Each structure stands twice: as structure tokens, then as C-alpha cells.
């Protein structure tokens, strides 16, 4: 039990910030009720948050015969975090404020087959440009969350994959970028980040799964508001669930992986062997081509439609498995590969869980499309920086450099 004079625990800050964010303006008494923290902890936490400028008092509210309650609200522009999603084909960057709102976003080409040093240099340049265009001072930026494919050693900030090239295997992504831009950097699996981005900075504590498709296929699961991580933060690899023991061998070592039967790369390869190649002028890059096929499918092209419907049917088998494993009642499709074709994939998945989810007699399972299809993973990266900083159920953010900077600003005496 802490004495009234002891400093508030960092998770208390996360809880108080969430409660203030959810309510726009709120009194200290209401914060006690909303968080379950003691009045003394609320007083200390609010004092610290006010001293660093994250919240401020905005008037009073007369309630009953007692003295008026002072109201508190968030200062959204008190600090910012940056989120970047990148893979071989595409990259998206966002700046998110303390309210969890995106204040700036941009896209750039993916990693392709460039050396990691070159990619990191581009990311650093891109971050500087983004901050400049948003007129966000660097002094207010707490850190950068980079989300990409796995496997990865999240704690070390290192990728453990030779995809898209051998140069990435063991590459110190977080430390390299942190050295370049002189800000703390964390890395995260893109599908997990997309799930976090879907929930945002609120404190809903909900449980759901995301199906993420960009260059590859992944999934993220959030249970009671916290991302499920498994033993090494490399869990829920939906794209590498086998649906065919005799299917093609995958680079992961498995056979018949969903990604190799239904992912953008294989769909584009198949399309290039049909009349779609010339009709859609394919050959502009996997994700660009996949989106062109998707638009053609939505417009009724029979060849494109057959490819997309086939892919959606395979992925739907994986979605039913995902639901059976985690007993979630909601599945959200997100990732820029779903931008045009989301309705087809959603329909197949809904049909699969309606017919095949083991618990369907107990509760329905709803399949939805994200409202931030292209940005969820980048937003999740930005959100995770703040959650990590505040200790909101996340492990500490570590980088080779910058770890010492990873603290909230010191309180003003
Ligand atoms: Zn695989």
C-alpha cells in the first residue's frame, strides 16, 4: 500500500490518461470512480500530468452543496508519437497525438530488395519530412514504433528473417533507426500492431482478432485490451497455418500455408498467367497488381473474380480456425491489401464462421472491415510507443540508444 505522498505508479498514469481521454472533461472524483485508484493516487497522478503539460484544468462544475469540482482535460498536442508500417511492397507513416488522433500521414515505397541501411535512411528522411510538414517539434516526439513482418526479436529490436533478403536476418532495425534520428524506436509485428491500432488509445478492454493482409497475411489478437504475444511476440501467424498437408512447401518449413495459397504474391502470379496480365497491365509490383486485380474483381471481371473468391475461401478457413482457437466474438479485416476487396473476403469469412465456428451456438461471431484499412498497423506502432512509455501492460521500450530518454518529462518543481 503506497502512502499518500508516494509518487504515482506509471500504470496509474496510463489509466488516468485513458479515463480523461474517454470523457473529454472530468473531475478528480470522477477519475476515482472511473479508474478504481485511490483519491490520493489520483491527486498525485493528475498533479504530475499537469506539471508535464499533458492535462490542464478547464473550469469548475458545481455538484450538490459541496465545493465546486475542478474539471480536467487532455492537452492533445502536449506530445506525439510516430508509427511506421513497412514491408517489401509498401510503407505508411503516421503522427499520432496524445488524444490518439492521427495528425499527419504519408506513404512511400516499401523495402523492395534494397539493403536495410538504405531502407533505414529512407525511413529516417521520411520521418523528418513528416514532422516538418505537420509542424510538430522534435522535442515533443516521444518515440517511433516501426511495424513489419516477422519473425522478429521484439525486445532486441532485431529482425530474424531473411525476407525480403538475407541482409535483414539479424539486422538491428531499432538501433539503426534510433541512431539515425536520435529518438527511441521500438519494433512490433505488423499484424499485432494493426490489432492495437484498431483499438486505439482508448480503454475499452475489448477482445477481438484482426486478419491483416499487406504483402503477406498475418493476424493479431487482443484479449481484454492487451495484445496476445505468446512466448516471443511472434504468435498468431495466420498466414503460416497449414490448410493442406500436401500443399506447396513454404519458406517457413511448413506445407500448404494459407499465405502460399491465398496471399497477394501467389494471386498475382496466377493472374500473370491469364489474360489479366495484359488487360490490367500487370507487372507494376505485387501490391499494386493485387489491388488492380481486386478492383477488376469488384467490377465483375470473371477471371479476377475467380482468383479473389478462391483466395477469400482459403483465408476464410483460417479465420474459422482463428476463432476456434481464441473464442473471439469479433474479427476485423485490416491492411491495405483489403482496401478494395474487403467485402468479398468479409463475406467468405462470415459465412465460414456462421457455419463452422465451434462456439456459434453460444455466441455469434461478427466479421467486420476496418475503418482505417491502410493505416491500422502504423497507428498501432505509434500507440504502442505511448503504451510502452506509460507501462500500460506493455514491456519496456528498449533500443541501443535512446533508452535513457524513454521517460516522461521530469515534473516541474
Ligand atoms: Zn509458411
Residue 362's pLDDT band, with cuts at 50, 70 and 90, is: very high
Asked if 85 and 190 count as a contact pair (C-beta separation under 8 A), the reply is yes
144 CA distance to ligand 1 middle (Å): 29
248 CA distance to ligand 1 middle (Å): 9
Alpha-carbon distance of 317 to 277, in angstroms, equals 28
Residues with CB under 5 A from ligand 1 (ion): 240, 250, 252, 254, 257
The CATH superfamily label for domain 78-197+376-405 reads: ATPase, nucleotide binding domain (3.30.420.40)
5 CA distance to ligand 1 middle (Å): 54
Enumerate the domain spans of the chain. 10-74, 78-197+376-405, 204-369
> φ and ψ at 351, to 5 degrees?
-60, -40
107 CA distance to ligand 1 middle (Å): 28
78-197+376-405 and 204-369, same CATH topology:
yes
For the domain spanning 10-74, the CATH number is: 1.10.10.10
259 CA distance to ligand 1 middle (Å): 7
How confident is the model over 294-305, as pLDDT tens digits?
999 999 999 999
88 CA distance to ligand 1 middle (Å): 17
DSSP 8-state class, residue 81: E
314 CA distance to ligand 1 middle (Å): 14
How confident is the model over 268-309, as pLDDT tens digits?
999 999 999 999 999 999 999 999 999 999 999 999 999 999
322 CA distance to ligand 1 middle (Å): 16
How confident is the model over 24-69, as pLDDT tens digits?
899 999 999 998 999 999 999 999 999 989 999 998 887 777 788 8
Residue 24 in grid coordinates: 473529454
Which CATH architecture does the domain made up of 204-369 adopt?
Answer: 2-Layer Sandwich (3.30)
For cell 516538418, the residue is: 132
111 CA distance to ligand 1 middle (Å): 21
**Extended strands (E) in 165-248:** 185-189, 208-213, 217-223, 226-227
Alpha-carbon distance of 400 to 157, in angstroms, equals 9
CB-count burial class (<10 Å; 0-12, 13-18, 19+) for 173: buried
Amino acid at each position: 500500500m503506497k502512502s499518500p505522498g508516494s509518487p504515482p505508479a506509471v500504470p496509474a498514469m496510463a489509466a488516468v490518461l485513458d479515463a480523461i481521454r474517454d470523457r473529454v472533461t472530468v473531475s478528480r472524483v470522477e477519475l476515482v470512480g472511473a479508474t478504481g485508484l485511490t483519491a490520493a493516487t489520483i491527486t498525485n497522478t493528475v498533479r504530475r500530468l499537469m506539471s508535464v503539460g499533458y492535462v490542464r484544468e478547464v473550469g469548475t462544475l458545481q455538484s450538490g452543496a459541496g465545493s465546486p469540482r475542478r474539471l480536467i482535460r487532455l492537452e492533445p498536442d502536449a506530445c506525439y508519437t510516430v508509427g511506421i508500417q513497412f514491408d517489401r511492397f509498401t510503407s505508411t507513416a503516421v503522427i499520432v497525438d496524445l488524444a490518439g488522433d492521427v495528425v499527419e500521414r504519408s506513404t512511400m515505397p516499401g523495402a523492395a530488395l534494397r539493403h536495410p541501411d538504405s531502407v533505414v535512411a529512407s525511413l529516417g528522411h521520411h520521418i523528418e519530412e513528416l514532422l516538418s510538414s505537420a509542424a510538430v517539434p522534435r522535442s515533443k516526439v516521444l518515440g517511433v514504433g516501426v511495424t513489419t513482418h516477422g519473425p522478429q526479436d521484439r525486445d532486441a529490436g532485431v529482425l530474424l528473417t531473411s525476407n525480403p533478403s538475407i541482409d535483414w536476418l539479424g539486422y538491428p532495425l531499432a538501433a539503426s533507426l534510433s541512431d539515425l534520428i536520435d529518438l527511441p524506436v521500438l519494433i512490433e509485428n505488423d499484424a499485432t500492431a494493426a490489432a492495437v491500432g484498431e483499438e486505439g488509445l482508448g480503454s475499452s478492454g475489448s477482445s477481438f482478432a484482426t486478419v491483416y493482409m499487406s504483402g503477406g497475411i498475418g493476424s493479431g489478437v487482443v484479449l481484454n485490451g492487451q495484445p496476445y504475444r505468446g512466448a516471443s511476440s511472434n504468435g498468431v501467424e495466420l498466414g503460416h497455418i497449414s490448410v493442406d498437408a500436401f500443399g506447396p512447401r513454404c519458406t517457413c518449413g511448413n506445407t500448404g500455408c494459407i499465405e502460399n495459397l491465398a496471399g497477394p504474391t501467389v494471386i498475382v502470379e496466377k493472374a500473370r498467367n491469364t489474360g489479366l496480365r495484359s488487360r490490367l497491365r500487370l507487372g507494376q509490383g505485387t501490391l499494386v497488381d493485387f489491388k488492380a486485380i481486386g478492383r477488376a474483381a469488384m467490377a465483375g471481371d470473371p477471371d479476377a473474380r475467380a482468383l479473389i473468391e478462391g483466395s477469400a475461401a482459403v483465408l476464410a478457413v483460417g479465420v474459422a480456425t482463428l476463432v476456434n482457437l481464441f473464442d473471439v466474438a469479433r474479427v476485423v479485416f485490416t491492411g491495405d491489401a483489403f482496401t478494395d476487396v474487403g467485402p468479398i473476403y468479409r463475406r467468405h469469412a462470415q459465412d465460414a464462421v456462421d457455419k463452422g465456428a465451434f462456439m456459434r451456438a453460444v455466441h455469434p461471431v461478427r466479421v467486420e472491415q476496418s475503418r482505417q484499412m491502410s493505416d491500422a498497423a502504423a497507428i498501432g506502432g505509434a500507440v504502442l510507443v505511448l503504451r510502452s512509455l506509460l507501462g500500460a501492460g506493455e514491456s519496456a521500450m528498449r533500443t541501443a540508444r535512446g533508452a535513457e530518454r524513454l521517460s516522461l518529462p521530469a515534473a516541474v518543481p
